[in-house]
Amino acid sequence: MKRLDFIYDRVSIRSYKEDKVPREDIIEIIKAGTYAPSGKNLQNWHFVVVTDKDKVREIANIVEKRGLIYQKAFMIKKLEIHLEKCYHIILYLKMHLY
């Protein structure tokens, strides 16, 4: 299916050029984004364009830290579940071995 090649051939880009994106291109990209489907066709779009590199780095650091916090919280919850299972196994063994 040739029309979907752009999806199947997608690659991740993790290094970017230092070139500034022209304002006209940003406006066109945002316009294209407003054509995406929305729940109940509400089209409640809100866009924030950040071009200051220091602000972009600051936002990226905040997002990264928040992601690590969520990841740690998930791991703690998972550990609690495992500990609870271990506790139940110990109780079971204690009741049946003695």
Kindly tell me if the per-residue pLDDT of 28 is higher than 90: yes
Question: Residue 26 — pLDDT band, cuts 50, 70, 90?
Answer: very high
Determine how many CB atoms are found less than 10 A away from the CB of residue 26: 14
Ramachandran assignment for 72, one of left (phi > 0), alpha (psi -120 to 50 degrees), beta (any other)? alpha
What's the CA gap between 86 and 92, in Å, rounded?
10
Question: Among candidates 90, 18, 24, which has minimal Cα distance to 56?
Answer: 18
Rounded to an integer, what distance in angstroms lies between the CA atom of residue 54 and that of residue 60? 10
Q: pTM for this one?
A: 0.52
